[in-house]
Amino acid sequence: MTLALIDIINGILLLIIITISICVAVRLISCYFKKKERVYLYSGITWIALVSPWYAHCTAFIVTLFTGKGISAELYFTLGNILIPIGLIAWTTAFTELFYKKLQKIVLCITIFYAILFYILFFIALSTNPNLIGELQGDIEVQYSRVVIIYYLTLLTTILITGVFFGLRSMKSDNPEIKLRGILIIVAFISYVIGIAVDAIIEHTILTLIFIRLVELSSAIEFYTAFIMPNIIKKHLLNNK
């Protein structure tokens, strides 16, 4: 299959987003080993999982680019969905580590049960009827089923609500740096959700695609800046407040 120009641009942009996002996640995880604060570890794992739906697209893009044929539906669905429940567990752990520590075990038990249920249903569908998960459109695009879309909406809603709550609580601090962190966390999650939502709703053109990917890329940078605030950001933003 010969890839259209828009497919090539989309593939390249997603590769850039994934590369930067993984660098952000690795940087966060490395801070855990330096500072021994588990929030960094969980936040890094969360971000690796949040961009995991694009792993399938990029893998299919690269394979198609070099071989002229995409990957199987089973591999596509696995790459795009396997890490999402892990990310939800990681973010829930980070959230309850900072807030509602007493409820952490209960919340994690519910989240883990939800993840296990997802894996059971996912692999049953994958092995018996992959069309229950979705349908490949060409070699690199996918149309997920309503059940999977509802699952994604539930996940996005959970992450958005907890992320905004996280930010609002941080903004109540008397420490200007923590306040700024709260603002950046809210902006990061809103950017991520807007990017995903617009990506799913509007028709792709080269211009709209570039806009969407820039919004999604900004969410990774904002997330990184919130947790690991570079000195130049501190000096510029905090001194202007």
Q: How many separate domains does the chain show?
A: 1
How far apart, in whole angstroms, are the C-alpha atoms of residue 30 and residue 45? 11
CA distances to 5, 139, 142, 171 from 68, rounded to whole Å, are: 15, 9, 17, 51
- Which of 160, 149, 155, 227 lies closest to 193, judged by CA? 160
- Which of 223, 180, 228 lies closest to 30, judged by CA? 228
Domain containing 144 equals 5-239
Reading the block at residue 109, the tokens are: 């038990």
Q: How many helices (H) and strands (E) does the chain have?
A: 11, 2
What is the Cβ-side half-sphere exposure of residue 80, based on CA atoms within 13 angstroms?
Answer: 27
> Does residue 4 register a pLDDT over 60?
yes
Encode pLDDT of 61-105 as tens digits. 999 998 888 899 999 999 999 999 999 999 999 889 888 888 899
Encode pLDDT of 8-53 as tens digits. 999 999 999 999 999 989 999 998 998 888 888 998 999 999 899 8
The answer to whether the pTM exceeds 0.95 is: no
The CATH number of residue 142's host domain is 1.20.1070
